[in-house]
Structure 1
Amino acid sequence: MSLQTPNIAVRVVRIEQASPLIKRFTLQAQDGGQLPSFSGGSHIIVRMPTASGLIHNAYSLLSSPFQLQQYQIAVRREEASRGGSAFMHEHVAVGDILQISPPNNLFPLHAISGRHILIAGGIGITPFMSQMEELQTSGAAFELHYAFRSREQAAFVDELAARYGAHCHFHDAARGEQCNVASLLAQLAEQDHIYVCGPVSLIEAVKAAGAAQGIAPARLHWEQFAASTQSGEAFTVVLARSGREIRVEAAQTILQAIEQDGSAAVDCLCREGVCGTCEVAIVQGEAEHRDQYLSEEEKAAQQSLLICVSRARGERIVLDL
């Protein structure tokens, strides 16, 4: 995706309080037409003109891939956000026009699988809602394991139970119902695929359990909404086209450092390592990849990085800018 990708104008036709911190927004094309098709697990990027400038946030599509008269997204109110969730919760009203990108899918279902095992934590339920619609329509075998802090804070529980019944397993921490990841993965058949979305701790637990049980990495799929907030060592980025050297501090991203320096124009959208807009070729050095856009093979090749989240592995990296 690039900044040249045309925006789609949509009208907000409904806003629901899905939980104390989560709102669901229903969007229809401003011209009344059909919206672009998408597959389960897709997201759109919403363009938000906040007081501090334009913000572009990625949100999973909740709605059915088979009903293209509307899209639905869910937005969790985040106190530590860059302003996007606050804008959606406090300033967007029914009737407003928003600009969105066409759908993109970085978290698709595997075409050939035994069972599809979906593991969600908190707001990580959102990409699975369109996936389950796709799975149920195709008659595929699947089950959902949805972990949350309490029933009162969880979104869509009753809706999921009513629509998917025995496919759903809910794990309410307030009632002592923990999702035993190791036990769950131990029951998998050889052709089953696992999908996980939620907090970093949940994703890492599933990845660790999968590795411990010898599950092939190709059978484990994950999506993490927020970029890692872990800082790193300071380093120097060199812009190969001008020779300009810029210091990137420990708590700074390469993108932030370049923008602060003002020496190069860089396209960017999501700033979360999701959309791929800010991908830049590596001329010299290696990257510590923190994005969700590049494949494991692309990361290992060390030919490019996403400068909104990834860092240098070492004291210096030269980029094709």
Structure 2
Amino acid sequence: MTLQTPNIAVRVVRIEQASPLIKRFTLQAADGGPLPAFSGGSHVIVQMPTASGLIHNAYSLLSSPFQLQQYQIAVRREEASRGGSAFMHEHLAEGDILQISPPNNLFALHASSGRQILIAGGIGITPFMSQMEELQASGAAFALHYAFRSREQAAFVDELTARYGEHCHFYDAAKGEQCNVAGLLQQMTGQDHVYVCGPQSLIQAVQAAGEAQGIPPARLHWEQFAASTQGGEAFTVVLARSGREIRVEGEQSILQAIEQDGSVAVDCLCREGVCGTCEVAIVQGEAEHRDQYLSEEEKAAQKSLLICVSRARTSRLVLDL
């Protein structure tokens, strides 16, 4: 489970205010060389040294996969930040060095002769920006449907319009405009694929519309921009190999608590309970599973859990770490 992938040192060369709540960060390799190749929909995990310890957050790459001299990410300032977005918005400056993971893609485009339909809500626009670079370069048929609370709070609208023109459709809630998800899916042909990223409510609306219309699950793809952990009671995790005990607070994930403790290295490529890289065997105790990776049978067996989103039903949880 512990992949311990090597980090990449990058320098922050530009910080832009993309909207009142969103900043765009341009990163270049600290050694001046090219960065690793990536495909549209990829993300990197940024390591942030905060006062409470290291925080690791995943951010989609916005920049073109064809330009590897720099990466770009966008970060929304969250009111209830646990330290990540606050660090990026308030403490990071141009010239600073960050450590990031190599790119990983859990939201890749699928080869198809049909259209690629991209549905974004708010900051969920980010993975689609690199995907559209690939789609336009290949001459593929695609359409972006981007919903946001207001034009003032939306990021990248002018940039998207200038680059992709009639491929883009915008929905401003402040003007009473809504994206008719069911209507979009009704227009799908047998080779079309749909991708959605944004709030859980938007993802669920696409899933429900797809199921109602009998669209095969293989043609519906989604990515959450934040793990849907609702928190819970605090509990203690015991690392079986060392006997070390770590307290996991109510609004903290097991992964975050272990990272802040720093006594053992763990990896997680998604931090959203979908990729399975942080699966850990349960030695003692019972898990409250919140992932989208394990089957219902595996969850009931209580043999393992994904530490990025799942929690404990017992006051102590002993893990094979």
Same fold per TM (> 0.5)?
Answer: yes
Task: Report the CA distance shift for 1:15/1:231 in structure 2 as closer, same or farther (over 3 A).
Answer: closer
What amino acid sits opposite 1:90 in the alignment?
E
Give the Cα–Cα distance (whole angstroms) in 2 for the partners of residues 201 and 252 of structure 1: 22
- Give the Å deviation of 1:279: 1.8
Give deviations 1:217-271, integer Å, cap 9, x for gaps: 11111000211132468999897779999998976645578799x8x94625675
Task: Report the CA distance shift for 1:88/1:2 in structure 2 as closer, same or farther (over 3 A).
Answer: farther
Give the Cα–Cα distance (whole angstroms) in 1 for the partners of residues 313 and 41 of structure 2: 31
Are 2:236 and 2:317, in contact at CA under 8 Å, matched by a contact in 1?
yes
- Give the Å deviation of 1:54: 0.7
Gaps of 5+ in 2: none
Q: 1:53 maps to what in 2? A: 53
- In the alignment, structure 1 residue 94 sits paired with structure 2 residue 94: yes
> Residues 178-217 of structure 1 correspond to what in structure 2 (within 5 A)?
178-217=178-217
What amino acid sits opposite 1:80 in the alignment?
A
TM-score, length-normalised on structure 2? 0.85
Q: 1:142 maps to what in 2? A: 142
Give the Cα–Cα distance (whole angstroms) in 1 for the partners of residues 234 and 171 of structure 2: 41
Q: 2:218 maps to what in 1? A: 218
> Residues 139-178 of structure 1 correspond to what in structure 2 (within 5 A)?
139-178=139-178
Q: 2:108 maps to what in 1? A: 108
Gaps of 5+ in 1: none
TM-score, length-normalised on structure 1? 0.85
Task: Report the CA distance shift for 1:251/1:109 in structure 2 as closer, same or farther (over 3 A).
Answer: same
- Give the Å deviation of 1:96: 1.0
Q: 1:227 maps to what in 2? A: 227
SS in 1 for 2:164: helix
Q: CA RMSD in A?
A: 3.2
SS in 1 for 2:18: strand
Give the Cα–Cα distance (whole angstroms) in 2 for the partners of residues 235 and 52 of structure 1: 19
Q: 2:295 maps to what in 1? A: 299
What amino acid sits opposite 1:192 in the alignment?
D
Q: 1:308 maps to what in 2? A: 308
- Give the Å deviation of 1:291: 3.7
Work out the percentage of aligned pairs sharing the same amino acid.
84
Are 2:43 and 2:103, in contact at CA under 8 Å, matched by a contact in 1?
yes
Q: How many equivalent pairs are there? A: 315
More off after superposition, 278-287 vs 84-93: 278-287
> Residues 34-45 of structure 1 correspond to what in structure 2 (within 5 A)?
34-45=34-45
Are 1:227 and 1:290, in contact at CA under 8 Å, matched by a contact in 2?
no
- Give the Å deviation of 1:90: 0.9
Q: 1:267 maps to what in 2? A: 266
